[in-house]
A and B are shown apart, each in its own frame.
Chain A
Amino acid sequence: MAISLTVNGNAVTLDADPETPLLWALRDELRLTGTKFGCGIAQCGACTVLLDGMTGRSCVTPIGTLEGADVRTIEALEGAEAEAVQAAWVGINVPQCGYCQSGQVVAATALLQEVPKPTDEDIDNAMAGNICRCATYARIRQAIRQASDSLEG
């Protein structure tokens, strides 16, 4: 069964088992490897992508549900919020092993698109689904605040 959707602005047709999680379609078929596999059960957030503008866990999203959907991955995050988040991530040296950070950056970008001035509680809530085994959380909080500040004015 062929499924047509948009990935990073490009029309894509996936001819695969509709049960295939979006994660593996992105990685194995489209070679968009920035989106990572961590758990397979929506517990870790490493596979976070934007689905029609909202964060989604690609490891539990069958491609069969995505006909006509708009998918955006770390490789093609766009907009002022994404730029601010990525600049703050690098400036503050957030990543350690880096494996979770695609998901963290996508989640942080989505947060700032929704809530431009998040409180610490907003940050903790929005990022609660993203595990960082290196525990870079303190810097993630700091980077989101810095990105938010840099978007002001």
Chain B
Amino acid sequence: MHPSIKKLTAPRPTRRGFLAGSAGLVLGLYLAPKARASATGEGYAPNAFVRIAPDDSVTVLVKHIEIGQGANTGLPILVAEEMDADWSQMRAEQAPVDPSRYVNTAFGVQGTGGSTGLSNSYMTMRQAGAAARAMLVAAAADEWGVPAGEITVTKGVVAHEGSGKSSGFGALAEAAAGMPVPENPALKDPAEFTLIGGEGVTRLDAEAKTNGSAQFSIDVYREGMQVVAMVHPPKFGAVVVSFDDSAAMEISGVNAVRQVPSGIAVYAGNTFAAFKGRDAVTVEWDESGAETRSSDEIARVFAEAARAPGKVAEAAGDVDTALENAAEVIEADYLFPYLAHAALEPLDGVIELREDGAEVWAGEQIPTISRQAMGGVLGMEPGKIEMHTMFAGGSFGRRATPDSHFAAELANVAKAAGPGAYKLVYTRENDMQAGYYRPLTAHHLKAGLDADGNITAWLNTVANQSIIADTPFAMMMKDGLDPTSYEGSNDLAYDLPNTRLSWAQMDAGVPTLWWRSVGHTHTAYAVETFLDRVLEAGGNDPVEGRLALMREDRPRDAAVLSRVAEMAGWSGPGMGDKRMGVAVVRSFGSYVAQIAEVEDRDGSPHVTRVWCAVDCGLAVTPDVVRAQMEGGIGFGLGSMLHDEITLDEGGRVRQSNYDGYPMLRIGEMPQIEVSIIQSEENPTGVGEPGTPPIAPAVANAWRALTGKMPYRLPFARGAA
């Protein structure tokens, strides 16, 4: 998802200070600084983000969904640091869906995406922790009759040296609740941080995710709950004419079959019966409005458009004249396929519908919008829908749909059957064939060089569908341009004269969506592999050549590139059976350079090692940063090597499961070394930025090894 979405439906922070419905009174410190905290039945909650229990445990209410990126660790660290808590007493809990308190300040709605989780919480959560600490200290001062200024807090122990008194947080919690909430609690000087930026922090969700107890929405069971499976249209845009449920209804356990706007819903007493029933329903479809082109045909049209003039997104100098006058012109056409997110937990969710409201358990990245969509379907105020955010078994953007199609479907399933509890579970086939893919994209690039090998012209035209046009996110578009379609092709780190970037907005009936790192999934590959080739034509080393081209105002790009070259002992792509390739990409405010070492294994690249340098500002949890780089590399590598969603002649999606859409497996995972640039800049995201550089780095190494460049991904297709 993208970070620059502002004020979408913009529920403004309210002055209301109290959370209704939770145990006792919970104060909204951040939103209502003058309000007072209060004790609750289950402990003391100095603000909407922190709860202190009598057993000394401190629970942080995390407003971002935990999809693996580490939100449930990163946000609590910020609180613990300012509270001077001990890490072992910290707990994380998903905050309720309540945008008035838990808004993502980067979006204006409660939502997770665009690698914004830590950056938009950095100050808020520190303030929450500092306020809680100040109130505990005030309570201790009161109780012990000593000056607050003489009280220390260390690893969860509040102490006064002079009197020898000390206490844990729990014993002071109730008294602290009566203290005024400081409006501007003093924050630590970063030089005093002990947890932030430190090592040895165990993820707060690690244990539950190792012993099977972590609760995902698929794990929710309600009294009398039915499991629902869907029959979806076989082609995008097809609609139901009629259906025959007689065979399905004969299956033991199947209770009902209903038509809903998105297809046919099969209701059963258990998942197996629901899935069997799904396969037994026969449907007649109206395909008159469906996308019936094959993906090859769509690709041909897009590639043609990329060779024609598009809408100019960025331009400098006179690229046409520069190309005419160039001593050498190099050009290339790239093609990138539709990609499925293929998170391991298929889309699923639970709804319990009552006459007067509903309760929902789901893993939605933008619950504000999802709840509005459900309210629309059910004809109820969104506030009547209580929503629980569960762990999500991966997302990579898939659970952040601007149209909230899954939440709406869940509501429709309940609406069609009436009050009761329903778990909607996609089969893997539903999940993979539902669309919402990374857009199929064509790039056409052209570069001019002078007689000395200097780059004199750089032209890039991108053709793809817009992810955000005709959605609530369309307000991000400017002058008819969708920046998510070409981000990473513009504002390059390189000082290039005479440039033009254009975009051709294409139409297709295939729903598209952001996929981990969005536009950078293709722009990084096109730009960084093409540049490699152009540098070689000019007689330049891939690292030295890039550094020489770097703009003066982009020192952080240069720094990660220099660092990674050092790490890998770079002295050119190398000789022999293993070669190195490099790429450097800024995305979502973070800077990542990677070098891949590649060998030829039966005609395919096998990546043995990857070196990765990242500048994400202050690294709040270095181990999470490393983990996200590792995971981002594996994610990008798997898709580069194996993956494409294709539509056959007639428009049916060919791939339906992991057999046809293979995931990276352990034997393909390279050894990875990550280095984090020390920085005092505010933290920026790490969930997405690890992904873009790996594919171009591997391709550049492959070209060094074999002389061949895959211009079409995945690799198997490009090499063919």
Per-position 1/0 for B614-641, Cβ under 8 A of A: 0000000001100100110111011000
Closest CB of chain B to A3's CB: distance in Å? 14
Q: Are B202 and A98 in contact (CB under 8 A)?
A: no
In the complex, B414 has a CB within 8 A of chain A: no
A90 CB contact (under 8 Å) in B68, B206, B633, B663:
B206
Q: Are B212 and A136 in contact (CB under 8 A)?
A: no
In the complex, B105 has a CB within 8 A of chain A: no
Q: Are B272 and A97 in contact (CB under 8 A)?
A: no
Q: Which of B202, B205, B392, B631 has the most CB of A within 10 A?
A: B631
Closest CB of chain B to A116's CB: distance in Å? 19
Q: Which of A21, A38, A74, A93 has the most CB of B within 10 A?
A: A93
Closest CB of chain A to B384's CB: distance in Å? 28
CA distance A34 to B218 in the complex (A): 10
In the complex, A55 has a CB within 8 A of chain B: no
Q: Are A136 and B206 in contact (CB under 8 A)?
A: no
| Chain B 200-232 residues near chain A, CB threshold 8 A | 202-203, 205-216, 218-219, 221, 227
In the complex, A7 has a CB within 8 A of chain B: no
Per-position 1/0 for A86-114, Cβ under 8 A of B: 10011101111111111001000000000
Decide yes or no: A93 and B627 within 8 Å by CB, A37-B346, A40-B427 being known contacts.
Answer: yes
Q: Are B270 and A24 in contact (CB under 8 A)?
A: yes
B115 contact set on A, CB distance < 8 A = none
Per-position 1/0 for A23-61, Cβ under 8 A of B: 010011101111111111101101000000000000000
Q: Are A135 and B633 in contact (CB under 8 A)?
A: yes
CA distance A49 to B309 in the complex (A): 57
Q: Are B666 and A130 in contact (CB under 8 A)?
A: yes
A96 CB contact (under 8 Å) in B68, B271, B665:
B68
Decide yes or no: A36 and B68 within 8 Å by CB, A90-B210, A95-B205, A137-B634 being known contacts.
Answer: no
B657 CB contact (under 8 Å) in A39, A125, A134:
A39
Q: Are B67 and A137 in contact (CB under 8 A)?
A: no
Closest CB of chain A to B338's CB: distance in Å? 17
Q: Are A33 and B393 in contact (CB under 8 A)?
A: no
Q: Are A89 and B666 in contact (CB under 8 A)?
A: no
Among B184-192, B456-464, B667-675, the one that faces the other chain is: B667-675
In the complex, B334 has a CB within 8 A of chain A: no
A150 contact set on B, CB distance < 8 A = none
Q: Are A95 and B203 in contact (CB under 8 A)?
A: yes
Closest CB of chain A to B515's CB: distance in Å? 12
Closest CB of chain B to A106's CB: distance in Å? 9
Q: Which of B68, B210, B395, B630 has the most CB of A within 10 A?
A: B210
B210 CB contact (under 8 Å) in A28, A86, A135:
A86
Q: Which of B205, B209, B391, B394 has the most CB of A within 10 A?
A: B209
In the complex, B46 has a CB within 8 A of chain A: no
Q: Are B68 and A134 in contact (CB under 8 A)?
A: yes
Consensus secondary structure, chain B interface:
loop
A137 contact set on B, CB distance < 8 A = 634, 664-666, 669
Q: Are A96 and B669 in contact (CB under 8 A)?
A: no
Decide yes or no: A97 and B344 within 8 Å by CB, A124-B667, A139-B627 being known contacts.
Answer: yes
CA distance A47 to B190 in the complex (A): 45
By beta carbon, the residue of chain A nearest B621 is A93
In the complex, B706 has a CB within 8 A of chain A: no
In the complex, A141 has a CB within 8 A of chain B: yes
In the complex, B144 has a CB within 8 A of chain A: no
Per-position 1/0 for A59-101, Cβ under 8 A of B: 0000000000000011100000000001001110111111111
Consensus secondary structure, chain A interface:
loop
Q: Are B663 and A131 in contact (CB under 8 A)?
A: yes
Q: Are B345 and A36 in contact (CB under 8 A)?
A: yes
B203 contact set on A, CB distance < 8 A = 93, 95
B206 contact set on A, CB distance < 8 A = 89-90, 93-95
Q: Are B344 and A24 in contact (CB under 8 A)?
A: no
CA distance A31 to B223 in the complex (A): 13
Decide yes or no: A133 and B344 within 8 Å by CB, A24-B271, A96-B69 being known contacts.
Answer: yes
In the complex, A128 has a CB within 8 A of chain B: yes
Q: Are A46 and B633 in contact (CB under 8 A)?
A: no
By beta carbon, the residue of chain B nearest A127 is B666
Closest CB of chain B to A122's CB: distance in Å? 11
In the complex, A17 has a CB within 8 A of chain B: yes
By beta carbon, the residue of chain B nearest A97 is B68
Q: Are A99 and B393 in contact (CB under 8 A)?
A: yes
CA distance A33 to B423 in the complex (A): 14
B666 CB contact (under 8 Å) in A35, A75, A123:
A123
Q: Are B271 and A27 in contact (CB under 8 A)?
A: yes
Decide yes or no: A134 and B394 within 8 Å by CB, A43-B657, A95-B209 being known contacts.
Answer: yes
B630 contact set on A, CB distance < 8 A = 135-136, 138-139
Closest CB of chain B to A89's CB: distance in Å? 4
B114 contact set on A, CB distance < 8 A = none
CA distance A24 to B658 in the complex (A): 20
In the complex, B307 has a CB within 8 A of chain A: no
Q: Are B209 and A98 in contact (CB under 8 A)?
A: yes
By beta carbon, the residue of chain A nearest B208 is A98
- The 10 A-B pairs with the shortest beta carbon distances in the complex, nearest first, are A34-B212, A135-B634, A99-B393, A98-B209, A97-B68, A96-B68, A74-B212, A137-B669, A95-B209, A33-B219
Interchain Cβ contacts under 8 Å between A and B, 6 examples: A96-B68, A97-B343, A97-B345, A97-B394, A98-B393, A128-B667
Additional pairs, 14, CB under 8 Å, beyond known A39-B658, A93-B203, A137-B669: A21-B272, A28-B272, A29-B270, A36-B218, A37-B218, A38-B428, A97-B343, A98-B205, A130-B666, A134-B631, A135-B630, A135-B637, A135-B638, A139-B630
